[in-house]
Amino acid sequence: MTADEIVQLQQMVRRVPIAPHVIHFALRLVRATRVEEDDVPELVREWVSWGAGPRGVQYLLLAGKARAVLEGRFFVTTDDIKAVAKPVLRHRVITNYSAESSGITPDAVVERLLDELPDRRPGDEVAASVKQALTG
């Protein structure tokens, strides 16, 4: 592959559309890692000292797009987001001493959150402004 072909592939990946419910899923996942959020799962309060920031959502969506293209699709699913969640978020989720002493890794936290979060919630199909803000 030439350098130009790589750049073209990168540009193509960035143009892959993402449905609002997939964006909302990624947002919920990243927000669920933040201890300071009101409605985080108890496991986050127990095991996390620092959660993922806004770039976590951006790169989760971008990695989901790349995975979709590699799978031969030009749309992103929540399964794409789930598949890339651990590699994207593992260095963005910092576990506390309690978690580390129990052998709980950032990957384990993300995995548990993926098990708990629903793929869709009522209202996920709306709010195109969120999509516009994240995907440009």
| pLDDT for position 123 | 63
Q: Torsion angle of alpha carbons 83, 68, 64, 20, nearest 10°?
A: -110
Contact at 8 Å (CB) between 93 and 110?
Answer: yes
Q: Is 13 helix (H, G, I), strand (E, B) or coil?
A: helix
Q: Is 16 exposed, middle or buried (0-12, 13-18, 19+ CB in 10 A)?
A: buried
Contact at 8 Å (CB) between 121 and 27?
Answer: no
Domains recognised in the chain with CATH numbers? 3-135 (1.10.8.80)
Region 99-103: what's the mean pLDDT?
A: 96
Q: Which of 122, 111, 123 is nearest to 33 (CA)?
A: 111
In whole numbers, what is the pLDDT of the chain averaged over residues?
A: 91
User: pLDDT tens-digit profile of 12-32?
Assistant: 999 999 999 999 999 999 999
Size of the chain, expressed as the number of residues it contains: 136
- CA-CA distance, 130 to 9, in Å (whole number)? 25
Return the structure tokens found at 136: 């440009």
Region 57-86: what's the mean pLDDT?
A: 97
| pLDDT for position 128 | 53
Q: What is the pTM of this model?
A: 0.85
| pLDDT for position 68 | 98
Count helices and strands in the chain by DSSP H and E runs: 8, 2
| pLDDT for position 60 | 98
- CA-CA distance, 118 to 101, in Å (whole number)? 29
**With pLDDT > 70 as the criterion, what percentage of the chain qualifies?**
88
User: pLDDT tens-digit profile of 104-128?
Assistant: 999 999 999 999 998 876 666 665 5
